[in-house]
Amino acid sequence: MLVLVAPGQGAQTPGFLIPWLEIPGLADRLSAWSDVVGLDLIAYGTTAGADEIRDTAVAQPLLVSAGLAVAEVLGARPDVVAGHSVGELTAAALAGVLTVEQALTLVRERGLAMAKAAAAAETGMLAVLGGVEEDVLAALDRHGLTPANINGAGQIVAGGTPAQLEAFKADPPARARLIPLSVAGAFHTVHMASAVERMREAAAAVTPADPAVTLLSNRDGAVVADGAEFVGRLVDQVANPVRWDACMATMSGLGVTTMIELLPGGTLTGLAKRALRGVTTVALKTPDDLDAAREALK
């Protein structure tokens, strides 16, 4: 059983699109989608620097476009699809809930809305690696932080104000390693509430279809069979934690045997190697990875 997964913000690196543009038709596809999102996707994926593609309003459309373009190249028929954070829009398009154009229009609005919300107040995020999950969550709650991403495999990403983050660093949970993240703001926390409203207005113009394959939600890992419900969840998720641990638990329960992570792959397959033992994983980073992906599909 195959699951296609789409990574979230932070997976992008400078120049990650360069080798993919040698595939016939892919540059034309991205050029057309550039008009939809109002960004030069090819330039951002090839010559732009790390700071430029860290911009939320750029990173999100770039990631969804890259994931969808490479999914077309791969041509696999998944049994299950799921996306991490903004990757949920990629997953929605792959499942047929949204057209590609609808997904790109919504991700442009999402990126702009979250960038604006992040600029309204200084907030940040840090990764908590290791420790006992219950102790980590209790420590986050004690300092008023939100577990914005509960990723499983001993990884939780926390978001909040600089004061809250500093207090947490001074009083960390036992046996946990803390890594500050270079992000624009505390995504998937209450600090993104204004972005939810903008997303809700944009989503109101969309008439979604029901998913054609099994589609998982970041809210709780549930299988969502109603397209309108999924879009509603996707909107609310902007200001609520991503439960990727629950998504992986659902994959396990469904009997997933193979995971292919779309461009720029690596993050989600890395988590799966620790949390989904025995599942074959392939991360699409360069076109050279397509052979391994196609071999895994046999």
- Residues with active-site annotation: 85, 188
Per-state percent for the chain, helix, strand, coil, to nearest 5 = 50, 15, 35
Query: How far is it, in rounded angstroms, from Cα 240 to Cα 146?
Result: 9
CA distances from 107 to 8, 113, 244 (A): 12, 10, 20
Question: For the chain, how many helices (H) and strands (E)?
Answer: 13, 9
Tokens in use for 227? 């397209």
Sequence-separated (6 or more) residues with CB below 8 Å from residue 191: 117, 118, 121, 123, 159, 160, 185, 239
Cis peptide before 173 (omega within 30 of 0): no
SS3 (DSSP) at 76: coil
C-alpha dihedral sign at 47, 50, 55, 60: positive
141, 171 contact by CB (below 8 A) = no
Q: What does the buried/exposed string (b/e) look like for 195-219 if buried means 16 or more CB atoms within 10 Å of the residue's CB?
A: bbebbeebbeebebeebebbbbbbb
Among the residues of the chain, which ranges form H helices?
Answer: 26-37, 41-46, 50-54, 56-74, 87-94, 100-120, 133-142, 162-170, 193-203, 227-236, 244-254, 267-275, 289-296
230, 215 contact by CB (below 8 A) = yes
